[in-house]
Amino acid sequence: MQHQITRSCLEKDDSAILHKRAFMGKMCGMSEAQYSDNWRIIGHEWAIRHITRSLNADRLRHAYLISGVARIGKTTFARAFAQAVNCQSAAARPCGACRACQLTAQGNYADFTLIEAQGGSLKIEQIREMTRVLSLRPVEGRYRVLILRRFQEASTQAMDALLKTLEEPPPYVLLLLTADTTESLLATIKSRCQPLNLRPLPTQVIREALVNRHNSEPERAALIAQLSGGRMGWALEVLRDDSVLEQRAEWLDLLERALGESRAARFDHARALSEDRVSLPTLLALWQSYWRDALLLAHHTAAAAITNRDRRHALEQIARSVKTEETYQALLAVRRTLRYLQANVNARLALDALMLDLPHLRLIAAP
């Protein structure tokens, strides 16, 4: 009996609230706000449309697992998602201008928290913070949004703690996990989250964004876009920080010079490079893309398809003067060296072997 009374009171309250809301809407001459798919971010349109549809149909899930390669824009996406759910605009949400949208963008909104794995894993204090945040009702928004960044680095302990929340999430909670890869995540976590796998953006989309939104010079934008592998976050980082492109130019200069040098000079390079083992995977990935470009040109692929477009002059010489089989062997040798390093083979020996496998060719500088 007690239960029935309470329930009927609640129903009465609910209908009163709905009635009041409709009345207020009419008074202000506006209809209920719609969620818009204009999130003011570059790319990932399908994922934005998916979320917008769920929001407009009132079918939002409590947890999403946003995955995709590093620097592709997962956190940017998650932040825009957080703006959409708590936006105060009476028109199209997210508006980007209201208090909730602005404070969320700055990371200062009371109902928005971003927790990030530090030094390889989520710490116990961070798990406690996470549990505390999720137990609180929103202060001013519709949802309490928690972004858990780099969740692939969370410890099993952290995943277990999260699992408890995912089993019975409070209705006001929206959890956004981001992860470069999802293989290390517990299957029970993956099954309780809606997956959103962000894919690399087309090169052209990145190039246009760099030019039109970030005032980049077109040729520089084209190079960065081509090198980005479709990762907007990476492209923006490189646009702001010259050192990445400078280091790249240095490593490519060294490779091109070594092609025309003696065995002894090549071994000197191997010795010097082996002293910075941490950088070697990046260096070898770069050289790998260089030999892939040379192979593409040897097969008469359009020059527009190559990654290292600023090295076209040298690459075309290689394509003309080096046998295709030798170019292919150079590519395989770089890949093999990468594998050796992963297997902890002595870096100096691995690089010495690589130097012997590169073709001999004196490149003529670009006019």
Q: Which residues bind Zn ion (CB under 5 A)?
A: 87, 89, 95, 98, 101
SS3 call for 89: coil
Q: Give me the least distance between CB of 139 and Zn ion, in Å please.
A: 16
Q: Give me the least distance between CB of 86 and Zn ion, in Å please.
A: 8
Peptide bond into 218 cis (omega under 30): no
Token reading at 273 = 């490079």
Residue 63 DSSP one-character state:
E
Q: Give me the least distance between CB of 89 and Zn ion, in Å please.
A: 5
Closer CB to Zn ion, residue 85 or residue 115?
A: 85
Q: Is residue 310 a contact partner of residue 253, using CB atoms and an 8 Å limit?
A: no
Closer CB to Zn ion, residue 87 or residue 252?
A: 87
Burial 328-363 (b: 16+ CB within 10 A, else e): bbbbebbbebbebbeeeeebeebbbebbeebeebeb
Q: Give me the least distance between CB of 25 and Zn ion, in Å please.
A: 18
Closer CB to Zn ion, residue 87 or residue 296?
A: 87
Q: Is the Cα dihedral 234, 236, 237, 243 positive or negative?
A: positive
Closer CB to Zn ion, residue 33 or residue 133?
A: 33
Closer CB to Zn ion, residue 89 or residue 329?
A: 89
Closer CB to Zn ion, residue 66 or residue 80?
A: 80
Q: Give me the least distance between CB of 74 and Zn ion, in Å please.
A: 21
The Cα-based distances of 50 to 35, 74, 176, 355 in angstroms read: 11, 15, 15, 50
Measure the CA–CA gap between 308 and 305, rounded to whole angstroms.
9
Which H or E run contains 323?
Answer: none
Q: Give me the least distance between CB of 304 and Zn ion, in Å please.
A: 41
Length of the chain: 367
